């Protein structure tokens, strides 16, 4: 089945250009010119959202926060701002990736492909047949790899596909220090750039909020200053 992508962008020219490119690649595309309209179009069939940050009325950050209340669908931010703080704000609001305008359509397609690939893996809760399920359990955190489920002290935790990938990577190798570059290339499956460091940092911060008793004093995901992160 072809993936369904929702574009939320107030600039009609940009929206149309993206739609034409995506449809030529076989994607099913729906369009919204505002955050509120986008929320009305969002449903369970949506596989990815392309979301502009700078929109009148409900901006992209607020729209993203509203989406995250009901869905873990991957969100790719489009932003005219290039400041690191603006990008971090978008990721902290629940975005999975961002692109700065102007952007190339070839790069857009690469980002979309990567986000959809991770989302399918995470969303596709496997149908388990006979036999023992693959599980990892450490320090009260349990991952069922076959079902892509995570539990803390018996309670299921709802993670994004990137958060799940980071946690799985760290828990498979307890005590091992992963640099930001190693984590990025393992989880994102893309070449590491200097700006990728802040992306990893933000997703680590979001993951800690979900699995740590005190995210400010984490007991599971430790930062090893100057080196990276490890799971204890």
45-91 confidence digits (pLDDT tens): 999 999 999 898 999 999 999 999 999 899 999 988 767 777 888 88
- Pairwise CA distance, residues 142 & 157, whole Å: 10
**pLDDT for the residue numbered 214:** 95
**pLDDT for the residue numbered 128:** 41
- Which listed CATH number (1.10.3720.10, 1.10.10.10, 3.30.70.1560, 3.30.1490.20) goes with 135-231? 1.10.10.10
> Could you tell me where in the chain the CATH 3.40.50.2300 domains are found?
4-123
138 closest CA partner among 178, 177, 167, 180? 167
Query: Given this structure, which CATH class describes domain 4-123?
Result: alpha beta
**pLDDT for the residue numbered 132:** 60
**pLDDT for the residue numbered 87:** 80
**pLDDT for the residue numbered 80:** 81
**pLDDT for the residue numbered 146:** 83
**pLDDT for the residue numbered 3:** 92
> Could you tell me where in the chain the CATH 1.10.10.10 domains are found?
135-231
User: pTM of the prediction?
Assistant: 0.75
**Could you report the average pLDDT of every consecutive run of 10 residues in the chain (232 residues)?**
92 95 96 96 94 92 93 90 77 89 90 88 53 81 89 91 93 94 90 86 94 94 95 94
- Count the residues in the chain: 232
């Amino acid at each position: 089945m072809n993936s369904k992508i929702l574009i939320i962008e107030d600039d009609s020219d940009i929206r149309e250009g993206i739609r034409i490119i995506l449809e030529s690649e076989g994607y099913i595309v729906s369009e919204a010119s505002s955050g509120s309209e986008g929320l009305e179009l969002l449903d369970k069939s949506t596989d990815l959202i392309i979301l502009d940050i700078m929109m009148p009325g409900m901006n992209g950050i607020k729209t993203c926060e509203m989406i995250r209340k009901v869905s873990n669908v991957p969100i790719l931010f489009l932003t005219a701002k290039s400041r690191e703080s603006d990008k971090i704000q978008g990721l902290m609001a629940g975005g999975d990736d961002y692109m700065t305008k102007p952007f190339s359509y070839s790069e857009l397609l690469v980002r979309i492909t990567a986000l959809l690939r991770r989302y399918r893996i995470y969303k596709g809760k496997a149908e388990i047949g006979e036999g023992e399920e693959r599980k990892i359990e450490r320090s009260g955190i349990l991952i069922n790899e076959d079902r892509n489920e995570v539990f803390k002290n018996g309670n299921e935790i709802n993670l994004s596909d990137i958060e799940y990938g980071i946690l799985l990577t760290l828990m498979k190798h307890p005590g091992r220090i992963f640099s930001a570059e190693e984590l990025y290339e393992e989880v994102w499956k893309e070449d590491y750039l200097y700006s990728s460091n802040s992306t990893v940092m933000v997703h680590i911060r979001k993951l800690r909020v979900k699995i740590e008793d005190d995210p400010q004093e984490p007991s599971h995901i430790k930062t090893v200053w100057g080196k990276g992160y490890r799971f204890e």
